[in-house]
Protein backbone atom coordinates (compact mmCIF):
# COMPACT_ATOMS: atom_id res chain seq x y z
CA UNK A 1 0.00 0.00 0.00
CA UNK A 2 1.15 3.56 -0.55
CA UNK A 3 3.22 4.92 2.33
CA UNK A 4 1.09 6.72 4.88
CA UNK A 5 2.11 9.80 6.79
CA UNK A 6 0.00 9.25 9.85
CA UNK A 7 -0.34 12.73 11.27
CA UNK A 8 -1.10 14.29 7.89
CA UNK A 9 -3.58 11.54 7.09
CA UNK A 10 -5.37 11.98 10.40
CA UNK A 11 -5.74 15.74 9.81
CA UNK A 12 -7.11 15.27 6.31
CA UNK A 13 -9.44 12.60 7.66
CA UNK A 14 -10.82 15.00 10.25
CA UNK A 15 -11.34 17.77 7.73
CA UNK A 16 -12.85 15.68 4.98
CA UNK A 17 -14.90 13.14 6.88
CA UNK A 18 -15.52 14.72 10.26
CA UNK A 19 -19.23 14.17 9.90
CA UNK A 20 -18.69 10.40 9.83
CA UNK A 21 -17.01 10.23 13.21
CA UNK A 22 -20.28 9.05 14.73
CA UNK A 23 -19.28 5.68 13.26
CA UNK A 24 -18.48 3.17 15.96
CA UNK A 25 -15.19 1.30 15.83
CA UNK A 26 -14.30 -1.78 17.84
CA UNK A 27 -10.68 -1.68 18.96
CA UNK A 28 -8.70 -4.76 19.87
CA UNK A 29 -4.98 -4.96 20.56
CA UNK A 30 -3.93 -4.76 16.91
CA UNK A 31 -7.28 -4.70 15.12
CA UNK A 32 -9.90 -2.11 14.21
CA UNK A 33 -13.36 -3.33 13.14
CA UNK A 34 -16.28 -1.33 11.77
CA UNK A 35 -19.70 -2.23 10.37
CA UNK A 36 -21.34 0.12 7.86
CA UNK A 37 -24.94 0.32 6.71
CA UNK A 38 -25.33 1.22 3.03
CA UNK A 39 -29.07 1.56 2.30
CA UNK A 40 -29.94 0.86 -1.30
CA UNK A 41 -26.59 -0.75 -2.15
CA UNK A 42 -26.71 -4.36 -3.28
CA UNK A 43 -24.11 -6.93 -2.32
CA UNK A 44 -22.81 -6.88 -5.90
CA UNK A 45 -22.51 -3.07 -5.95
CA UNK A 46 -20.61 -2.98 -2.67
CA UNK A 47 -18.30 -5.78 -3.84
CA UNK A 48 -17.51 -3.85 -7.03
CA UNK A 49 -16.84 -0.60 -5.16
CA UNK A 50 -14.49 -2.29 -2.68
CA UNK A 51 -12.51 -3.89 -5.48
CA UNK A 52 -12.23 -0.51 -7.19
CA UNK A 53 -10.91 0.97 -3.93
CA UNK A 54 -8.29 -1.80 -3.70
CA UNK A 55 -7.14 -1.17 -7.26
CA UNK A 56 -6.78 2.58 -6.60
CA UNK A 57 -5.08 2.33 -3.22
CA UNK A 58 -2.68 -0.56 -3.61
CA UNK A 59 0.28 -0.59 -5.97
CA UNK A 60 -0.58 -4.01 -7.38
CA UNK A 61 -4.05 -5.33 -6.68
CA UNK A 62 -3.20 -8.77 -8.08
CA UNK A 63 -0.34 -9.19 -5.59
CA UNK A 64 -2.22 -8.14 -2.45
CA UNK A 65 -5.64 -9.75 -2.91
CA UNK A 66 -5.64 -13.04 -0.99
CA UNK A 67 -9.35 -13.83 -1.30
CA UNK A 68 -12.00 -12.40 -3.61
CA UNK A 69 -15.19 -14.43 -3.30
CA UNK A 70 -18.09 -12.49 -4.80
CA UNK A 71 -20.69 -15.17 -4.07
CA UNK A 72 -19.79 -15.35 -0.37
CA UNK A 73 -19.13 -11.60 -0.20
CA UNK A 74 -15.65 -11.94 1.29
CA UNK A 75 -12.47 -10.08 0.34
CA UNK A 76 -9.07 -10.25 2.05
CA UNK A 77 -6.12 -8.09 1.06
CA UNK A 78 -2.61 -7.85 2.45
CA UNK A 79 -0.39 -4.80 2.43
CA UNK A 80 2.19 -2.70 4.26
CA UNK A 81 1.69 0.56 6.11
CA UNK A 82 4.35 2.81 7.60
CA UNK A 83 4.63 4.54 10.98
CA UNK A 84 7.06 7.36 11.71
CA UNK A 85 7.96 7.91 15.37
CA UNK A 86 10.52 9.74 17.50
CA UNK A 87 13.87 7.94 17.77
CA UNK A 88 14.58 7.33 21.45
CA UNK A 89 18.30 6.79 20.80
CA UNK A 90 18.55 10.42 19.66
CA UNK A 91 17.79 11.37 23.27
CA UNK A 92 20.96 9.59 24.34
CA UNK A 93 23.14 11.17 21.69
CA UNK A 94 21.51 14.46 20.58
CA UNK A 95 24.72 15.69 18.95
CA UNK A 96 25.31 12.53 16.96
CA UNK A 97 24.73 13.59 13.35
CA UNK A 98 24.28 9.97 12.32
CA UNK A 99 21.38 9.42 14.73
CA UNK A 100 18.11 10.25 12.99
CA UNK A 101 15.50 12.26 14.89
CA UNK A 102 12.74 9.94 13.68
CA UNK A 103 12.55 6.21 13.03
CA UNK A 104 10.19 4.24 10.83
CA UNK A 105 8.37 0.97 11.36
CA UNK A 106 6.61 -0.83 8.52
CA UNK A 107 3.75 -3.14 9.46
CA UNK A 108 2.27 -5.98 7.46
CA UNK A 109 -1.50 -5.89 7.65
CA UNK A 110 -4.63 -7.63 6.43
CA UNK A 111 -7.96 -6.01 5.61
CA UNK A 112 -10.93 -8.37 5.58
CA UNK A 113 -14.21 -7.11 4.11
CA UNK A 114 -17.43 -9.09 4.59
CA UNK A 115 -20.32 -7.98 2.39
CA UNK A 116 -24.12 -8.37 2.46
CA UNK A 117 -26.92 -6.42 0.81
CA UNK A 118 -26.96 -2.88 2.31
CA UNK A 119 -24.20 -3.68 4.81
CA UNK A 120 -20.50 -4.51 5.03
CA UNK A 121 -17.86 -5.08 7.71
CA UNK A 122 -14.18 -4.13 7.62
CA UNK A 123 -11.60 -5.83 9.87
CA UNK A 124 -8.16 -4.17 9.69
CA UNK A 125 -5.39 -6.08 11.51
CA UNK A 126 -1.67 -5.42 11.95
CA UNK A 127 0.00 -8.85 11.69
CA UNK A 128 3.71 -8.19 12.25
CA UNK A 129 6.60 -5.85 11.47
CA UNK A 130 7.69 -5.93 7.84
CA UNK A 131 11.29 -6.06 6.59
CA UNK A 132 12.66 -7.49 9.83
CA UNK A 133 16.43 -7.91 9.95
CA UNK A 134 16.97 -11.19 11.81
CA UNK A 135 20.66 -10.68 12.63
CA UNK A 136 22.65 -9.69 15.71
CA UNK A 137 19.71 -10.17 18.04
CA UNK A 138 17.52 -7.58 16.32
CA UNK A 139 14.72 -10.11 15.88
CA UNK A 140 14.01 -9.77 19.59
CA UNK A 141 13.86 -5.99 19.29
CA UNK A 142 11.23 -6.22 16.54
CA UNK A 143 9.14 -8.51 18.71
CA UNK A 144 9.38 -6.07 21.61
CA UNK A 145 8.47 -3.14 19.34
CA UNK A 146 5.45 -4.99 17.97
CA UNK A 147 4.33 -5.77 21.52
CA UNK A 148 4.26 -2.02 22.21
CA UNK A 149 1.44 -1.69 19.70
CA UNK A 150 -1.84 -1.93 21.57
CA UNK A 151 -4.82 0.04 20.30
CA UNK A 152 -6.72 -0.64 23.54
CA UNK A 153 -4.07 1.14 25.63
CA UNK A 154 -0.38 0.59 26.29
CA UNK A 155 0.32 -1.86 29.12
CA UNK A 156 3.21 -1.80 31.62
CA UNK A 157 4.69 -5.21 30.76
CA UNK A 158 5.73 -4.51 27.13
CA UNK A 159 7.12 -1.11 28.16
CA UNK A 160 9.22 -2.65 30.92
CA UNK A 161 10.51 -5.44 28.65
CA UNK A 162 11.45 -2.99 25.90
CA UNK A 163 13.26 -0.72 28.36
CA UNK A 164 15.14 -3.67 29.87
CA UNK A 165 16.27 -4.68 26.39
CA UNK A 166 17.47 -1.13 25.64
CA UNK A 167 19.48 -1.00 28.87
CA UNK A 168 21.05 -4.41 28.17
CA UNK A 169 21.95 -3.77 24.53
CA UNK A 170 22.98 -0.13 24.69
CA UNK A 171 24.58 0.12 28.10
CA UNK A 172 27.70 2.26 27.58
CA UNK A 173 30.20 4.11 29.80
CA UNK A 174 29.98 6.98 27.31
CA UNK A 175 26.28 7.54 28.01
CA UNK A 176 25.36 9.00 31.38
CA UNK A 177 22.86 7.32 33.66
CA UNK A 178 20.77 10.49 33.59
CA UNK A 179 20.48 10.40 29.79
CA UNK A 180 19.59 6.71 29.86
CA UNK A 181 16.84 7.33 32.41
CA UNK A 182 15.49 10.20 30.30
CA UNK A 183 15.26 7.98 27.24
CA UNK A 184 13.54 5.20 29.18
CA UNK A 185 11.00 7.67 30.54
CA UNK A 186 10.08 8.59 26.97
CA UNK A 187 9.18 5.05 25.88
CA UNK A 188 5.63 5.24 27.21
CA UNK A 189 4.61 8.70 25.90
CA UNK A 190 6.24 8.08 22.51
CA UNK A 191 4.47 4.76 21.95
CA UNK A 192 1.19 5.99 23.41
CA UNK A 193 1.27 8.59 20.64
CA UNK A 194 2.29 5.95 18.09
CA UNK A 195 -0.75 3.87 19.07
CA UNK A 196 -3.04 6.89 18.73
CA UNK A 197 -1.60 7.67 15.29
CA UNK A 198 -1.98 4.07 14.16
CA UNK A 199 -5.60 3.93 15.32
CA UNK A 200 -6.35 7.19 13.48
CA UNK A 201 -4.67 5.90 10.32
CA UNK A 202 -6.51 2.58 10.36
CA UNK A 203 -9.83 4.34 10.92
CA UNK A 204 -9.01 6.74 8.09
CA UNK A 205 -8.39 3.83 5.73
CA UNK A 206 -11.61 2.11 6.77
CA UNK A 207 -13.49 5.38 6.34
CA UNK A 208 -12.09 5.79 2.83
CA UNK A 209 -13.48 2.34 1.92
CA UNK A 210 -16.88 3.44 3.19
CA UNK A 211 -16.70 6.69 1.23
CA UNK A 212 -15.86 4.75 -1.91
CA UNK A 213 -18.81 2.42 -1.42
CA UNK A 214 -21.21 5.17 -0.39
CA UNK A 215 -20.36 7.63 -3.16
CA UNK A 216 -22.92 7.97 -5.92
CA UNK A 217 -21.99 6.52 -9.28
CA UNK A 218 -21.67 9.18 -11.92
CA UNK A 219 -21.39 7.76 -15.40
CA UNK A 220 -22.39 11.01 -17.09
CA UNK A 221 -18.83 12.08 -17.82
Q: Supply the pTM of this predicted model.
A: 0.81
- Residue 115: what are its φ and ψ, rounded to 5°? -120, 135
Residue 220 lies in a domain: no
Res 219 pLDDT > 80: no
Total domains in the chain come to 1
Residue 173 lies in a domain: yes
CATH code of 180's domain: 3.30.530
Distant-in-sequence, close-in-space partners of 180: CB < 8 Å, separation ≥ 6: 92, 167, 171
180-213, pLDDT tens digit by residue? 788 888 899 989 989 998 999 999 999 999 999 9
Residue 1 lies in a domain: no
Res 40 pLDDT > 60: yes
Res 14 pLDDT > 80: no
Contact 109, 146 (CB under 8 A): no
Average pLDDT over residues 147-166: 95
Q: Which helix (H) or strand (E) holds 122?
A: strand 119-129
For residue 14, the enclosing domain spans: 6-214
| Sheet with 119-129: strands ordered across | 26-27, 31-37, 119-129, 102-116, 74-86, 65-69
Distant-in-sequence, close-in-space partners of 79: CB < 8 Å, separation ≥ 6: 1, 58, 64, 108, 109, 111
87-102, pLDDT tens digit by residue? 776 666 677 777 677 8
C-alpha 55/C-alpha 51 separation (Å) is 6
Amino acid sequence: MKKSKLLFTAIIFLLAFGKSFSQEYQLEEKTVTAIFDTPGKTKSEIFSSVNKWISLNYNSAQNVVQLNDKEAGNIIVKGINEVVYKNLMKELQPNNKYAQEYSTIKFNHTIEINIKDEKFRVIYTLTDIADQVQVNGYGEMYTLLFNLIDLTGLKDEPVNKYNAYIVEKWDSPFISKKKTEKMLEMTRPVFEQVNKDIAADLKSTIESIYQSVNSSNNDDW
